[in-house]
Amino acid sequence: MNSAEIIVEVAYALPNEQLIVPVKVTDGITAEQAIKSSGIMRKYPEIDLAVNKIGVFGKLSKLDAPLRHLDRVEIYRPLIADPKEVRKQRAADGKVMKKGGGDAPPEA
């Protein structure tokens, strides 16, 4: 690897599988360019960069964000259910939450 090249990873996960693709790219590449050069969009055609949010190491990022050596670009899937709405529904149903989720045991 010469000084003008860096290695980044592009990650995408489904409920039952995940793919992390290491990519050797030129220094100064953007997240969008790294995603496209990884080939991950050919394997998962449902990825639409106009819709899917992305991040670098779990922090939301923009497509034009420049990457550094060993960055991991993550492509996020749309949420199936809004977590706020799920909590509201649980509260409306009268369910009590315990630490870590799930139903709390009955009180004695």
Per-residue pLDDT in tens (0 to 9) along the chain, 108 residues: 556 999 999 999 998 999 999 999 999 999 999 999 999 999 999 999 999 999 999 999 999 999 999 999 999 988 777 778 778 888 888 766 556 655 555 665
Per DSSP, the three-state class of 102 is coil
With vertex at residue 62, the alpha carbon angle to CA 20 and CA 58, rounded to the nearest 5 degrees, is 45
What's the domain range around 70? 5-75
In a domain, 59, yes or no: yes
In a domain, 105, yes or no: no
In a domain, 12, yes or no: yes
In a domain, 108, yes or no: no
Beta-carbon-side half-sphere exposure of residue 77 (alpha carbons within 13 Å): 13
How many domains would you assign to the chain? 1
Its pTM stands at: 0.71
